[in-house]
């Protein structure tokens, strides 16, 4: 299902997917290495056209809490996320609890999309 847009907007909008992961205890180092390798593969992969960037973050104070963000420059996004984002979320479930969400950049003119 596509996210509905007003006035036909959304054709070339920026959006991102955030996939958060709370890794299982004792799996923090392995999880971090896997996430960094995954982000590197996404950046180098030719089959992920439209992916502007893939970045990995760790929580400032909670060990083992990570996020990978996929930044996209085309649209409209799917409500459940891109096929790539859904595959990543499914794969990361092997490492702990996963939350996958889609965010749309707000218009600069103060209008909501």
In which residue are the tokens 């180092």 written?
A: 29
Domain edges within the chain: 11-104
Q: What is the pLDDT of residues 38-65, one digit of tens each?
A: 888 888 876 666 566 899 999 999 999 9
Cα 112 to its chain centre, rounded Å, is: 21
Predicted structure pTM score: 0.79
Question: For the structural domain made of 11-104, what CATH number should be given?
Answer: 3.30.70.100
Largest CA distance in the chain: 50
The whole-angstrom distance between residue 4's C-alpha and the CA centroid of its chain comes to 20
108: pLDDT confidence band, cut at 50, 70 and 90? low
Please, are residues 68 and 38 in contact by the beta-carbon 8 Å criterion?
A: yes
């Amino acid at each position: 299902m596509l996210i509905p847009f007003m006035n036909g907007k959304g054709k070339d909008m920026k959006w991102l997917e955030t996939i958060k992961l709370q890794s299982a205890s004792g799996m923090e180092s392995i999880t971090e290495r896997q996430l960094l390798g995954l982000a590197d593969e996404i950046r180098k992969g030719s089959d992920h056209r439209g992916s502007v960037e893939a970045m990995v973050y760790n929580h400032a104070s909670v060990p083992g809490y990570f996020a990978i963000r996929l930044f996209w420059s085309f649209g409209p996004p799917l409500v459940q996320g891109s096929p790539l984002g859904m595959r990543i979320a499914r794969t990361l479930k092997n490492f702990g609890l996963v939350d996958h969400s889609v965010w749309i950049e707000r218009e600069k003119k103060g209008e909501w999309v």
